[in-house]
Amino acid sequence: MVPLAWDLFGETPLGWPRVQAICDWVHAKVTFGYAYARPTKSAFDVFAERMGVCRDFAHTALTLCRCLNIPARYTMGYLGDIGVPPSASPMDFSGWFEVYLGDKWHTFDARYNKRRIGRIVMVYGRDATDVALTTSYGSAPLAGFKVWAEEVGEDAMQDFG
């Protein structure tokens, strides 16, 4: 994917604008859907098929960043519904990525492609395989799952010092 990355983004300004251009491209070109998930999907598969889940958006964008010599890592956690319109879909685990620019890591999310508050980082890794929530062999039906997050006001934060 190195030649592809340089063809698409080699002329964009370095740093934040280049990473944002990658996110803009992935966000515009890839369609989200849970039915598009599969454990063997690579960033190239996502590029060719143009569909995936949040993990695939993150893998594709961070792969393009790495192809352009931008340090990137996969991040997984909860993405709350704070500060966005209510959704009919329940809150879920989410995958996004971070890049190292200047002297610190910065969060990017090619699926939503906008700043969001309420991210709760659980793990960092090279990719989703590094940070799998579960690894199962055979049938493992999900009987139930519920996640929620609420914004905490300034008064409540004082209780935590």
CA 66 to chain CA mean position, Å: 15
Give percent of the chain with pLDDT exceeding 70. Answer: 94
Indicate the DSSP class of residue 122.
Answer: E
Other C-beta atoms closer than 10 Å to the C-beta of 128 total 20
CATH architecture of residue range(s) 2-158: Roll (3.10)
Whole-structure pTM over 0.85, yes or no? yes
Distances (CA, A) of 26 to 48, 62, 118, 151: 12, 10, 23, 29
Size of the chain in residues: 161
Beta strands 31-32 and 51-52 are parallel
Q: In sequence order, what are the residues at sequence separation of 6 or more whose Cβ sits closer than 8 angstroms to the Cβ of residue 64?
A: 1, 4, 5, 8, 9, 22, 25, 26, 43
Domain ranges of the chain: 2-158
Determine the Cα angle at 16 with ends 103 and 48, to 5°.
Answer: 120
Beta strands 93-101 and 72-79 are antiparallel
pLDDT at position 156:
57
| pLDDT < 50: residue spans in the chain | none
Tokens 């090279």 belong to 126
Within the chain, residue ranges assigned H as helices are 2-9, 16-29, 43-49, 54-67, 154-158
Average pLDDT of the residues of the chain: 90
Helix (H, G, I), strand (E, B) or coil at 107: strand
Tokens 């960033």 belong to 43
pLDDT digits (tens, 9 = 90+) for 40-56: 999 999 999 999 999 99
